[in-house]
Amino acid sequence: MQSDTREPASSRTIYLSEEVRSYVLARKRDFRLSTACSGPILLPTSVKPPKITDLQIPVDDYTIYISKYQARYLDSIHKGMIPIYYDDF
């Protein structure tokens, strides 16, 4: 059985791609990277509120919160984690 007592990703850095950085800054809001059926997904905190156990990645005045369950497996946050909405085209 695994324990959740240690801090996720505390001894390593998670890379943030420039596309994700631009996405966050253009939308002027906080986001949370959480678990979905298809893998990690970046959602606004108005849709998926942060949890007290989330890892926090600052992006200027905004924050990307990362689920402790996702943080264990992440090396980077990239544009493949941004949901595609047909209104964005």
What is the mean predicted confidence (pLDDT) over 36-43?
88
Query: Residue 61's closest CA among 24, 89, 86?
Result: 24
- The overall average pLDDT reported for the chain is 84
Average pLDDT for 58-66: 96
Query: Residue 12 has what pLDDT?
Result: 65
Domain count, the chain: 1
Asked whether residue 9 carries a pLDDT value surpassing 60, the answer given is no
What mean pLDDT do residues 63-71 have?
90
Which residues span the domain enclosing 27?
Answer: 15-74
Alpha helices in 1-89 (DSSP H): 18-27, 68-71
In a domain, 2, yes or no: no
Say if 82 falls within a structural domain: no
How many CB atoms sit inside 10 A of residue 71's CB? 21
Q: Quick check: is 60 in a domain? A: yes
Query: Domain for residue 87, yes or no?
Result: no
d(C-alpha 87, C-alpha 37), whole Å = 22
Query: What is the per-residue pLDDT for 57?
Result: 94
In a domain, 5, yes or no: no
Phi, psi of 77 (to 5 degrees): -115, 120
Give 39 or 82, the one with higher predicted confidence.
Answer: 82
Give the pTM. Answer: 0.80
